[in-house]
Amino acid sequence: MSIGNAWSLGIFALVQKGSNRKAKFSQLSCQSDTLYRLSRVIDSREAPPPQAPDVEPQPLLISTPAGLHFLSRYSGTEEKRFGKMNEEYDVIVLGTGLTECILSGIMSVKGKKVLHMDRNSYYGAESASITPLEDLYKRFNLPGNPPESMGKGRDWNVDLIPKFLMANGQLVRMLLITQVTRYLDFKVIEGSYVYKAGKIYKVPSTETEALSSSLMGLFEKRRFRKLLIFIANFDENDPKTMEGVDPHKTTMRAIFQKFNLDQEVMDFTGHSLALYRTDEYLDQPCIETINRIKLYSESLARYGKSPYLYPLYGLGELPQGFARLSAIYGGTYMLNKPIDEIVVENGKVVGVKSEGEIARCKQLICDPSYVMDRTKKVGQVIRVICILSHPIANTGGINSCQIIIPQNQVNRKHDIYVCMISFAHNVAAQGKYIAIASTTVETNDPEKEIKPALDLLEPIEQKFVSISDQYAPTDMGTDSQIFISRSYDATTHFETTCDDIKDIFRRMTGSEFDFAEMERGKQDIFGDAAE
């Protein structure tokens, strides 16, 4: 059997033994960069709702069953019709980050009366896409305006948090089941790369690439093949497939030793396929790593180029899509709404005060910035947004890619990531590229830590550097009924975000998140048209 066939039996055969999660994908023909639509999607961006004449820009955005509806502070009759502060809600949500918007949509689908507020005038919070480009310069306190060479400011939609969607991951499932896909178009990321000894190498996505790849030598490929076939055949419910392995006790380190794999193959498997940020997984039960590799292979099998998808016009489209979901189910949205106080009585939340009015509630969902006294700092992430006039070197001139720099390659404890998108995704002016490097901060010199990634991107036309604190809740909401999301981590996918969403859902409702229940709820509203 050829080494190429060995790879095929491994990464590509894994999907044959995978789960039954099959998204409904349709493909639209493009010459160089394929556009994908998940289930039913609109053909173009929806025009924004018209603003009322002769008033200042509206601070309130109200969602109604008929869609999005702008309110002026002066339109009291409209407020009575579409909802107001001095009412009682089942759930109030503060912040329009992706986590909060997904939970708002889910709670609305479950029949809860939801009020969703944000102190900002835009969707996305920490996970927003910034437009126009002039606003990005202001946000990072850069003097002057962007040079004319960067084109029109409105051509840019720059993500603050760099992440892709796993094509067969949890977020795609949520998008499909809730039909938020009707508002979004996606493109597949064209390549996934891994850093080794100062160079980047393509993670093989075809049999031919596997055969010619210099990531591994001949003997390493043979041993790696055996590991992949073991994972492809592995079934937690069938002891015959386990080869004496206890998936909940045997560590991943022991699995690597079982197949006599060297350190470089371990790094490649754990960081490029299982997408771990550190090596802590090596001494944990192997079942999680096996499932992660299966997810990678299932996602890769969708398209072949890479396992990742990216929405046109930027990640800021995702929270807006789930806001529309909440609107369909009667949710109420208020943007640019100052939050004066979270009202707590006898240790339990009872409402939110804004501009002298109190909206009462039984439960509250929010991001850490609204309740800093109920969170703890758990780390920092450095992110560097880089504007380029060229694709990344040694990638074959593609318009999008991910690069993983494994920790051991640069003597670190955490991996470094690079996500590149471009004008092909309607996030940059023609001929321009956006590469965002990120990693978990380990020292007092974060910019030095991320230099190996920036060296791959030169020449860089403009950099925007941010160092963000990461927070986790100390109040889990059992008594207070305040449910706080976690800060977005340095990973380049949304699986950890979805884990946080499901954890909050479980604590709020006392039951596990059920994709099938969401499917039934969707059908109750859309009937046969939801299929």
Phi, psi of 211 (to 5 degrees): -65, -40
Of the pLDDT bands very low, low, confident and very high (cuts 50, 70, 90), residue 35 is low
Q: Is 240 helix (H, G, I), strand (E, B) or coil?
A: helix
pLDDT of amino acid 460: 98
> Is a pLDDT exceeding 50 seen at residue 520?
yes
pLDDT in tens, 445-481: 999 999 999 999 999 999 999 999 999 999 999 999 9
Fold of 60-126+317-371+475-486+497-530: FAD/NAD(P)-binding domain (3.50.50)
Tell me the pTM: 0.83
pLDDT in tens, 226-235: 898 899 899 9
pLDDT of amino acid 178: 86
pLDDT of amino acid 17: 45
pLDDT of amino acid 205: 63
E-strand ranges in 53-94 read 60-64, 67-71, 88-94
Of the pLDDT bands very low, low, confident and very high (cuts 50, 70, 90), residue 63 is very low
pLDDT of amino acid 333: 93
Specify whether domain 3-26+205-303 bears CATH 1.10.405.10. yes
Task: State the Cα–Cα distance between residues 115 and 85, nearest whole angstrom.
Answer: 9
Task: State the Cα–Cα distance between residues 257 and 451, nearest whole angstrom.
Answer: 33
pLDDT of amino acid 183: 86
Higher pLDDT, 218 or 388: 388
Average pLDDT along the chain: 83
**Residue 397, number of CB atoms within 10 A of its CB:** 11
**Over residues 274-281, mean pLDDT:** 93
pLDDT in tens, 409-420: 999 999 999 999
pLDDT in tens, 103-128: 999 999 999 999 999 999 889 999 99
Return the bridge partners of 186, or none.
Answer: 36, 311
pLDDT of amino acid 213: 76
pLDDT in tens, 328-354: 999 999 999 999 999 999 999 999 999
Task: State the Cα–Cα distance between residues 491 and 163, nearest whole angstrom.
Answer: 7
E-strand ranges in 474-516 read 482-484
pLDDT of amino acid 196: 92
pLDDT in tens, 64-79: 333 333 332 223 333 3
What percent of the chain has a predicted confidence (pLDDT) above 90? 67
Task: State the Cα–Cα distance between residues 508 and 441, nearest whole angstrom.
Answer: 32
Fold of 129-163+377-470: Guanine Nucleotide Dissociation Inhibitor; domain 2 (3.30.519)
Return the bridge partners of 484, or none.
Answer: 366
> Is a pLDDT exceeding 80 seen at residue 237?
yes
> Is a pLDDT exceeding 90 seen at residue 292?
yes
Q: Where are the domains of the chain?
A: 3-26+205-303, 60-126+317-371+475-486+497-530, 129-163+377-470
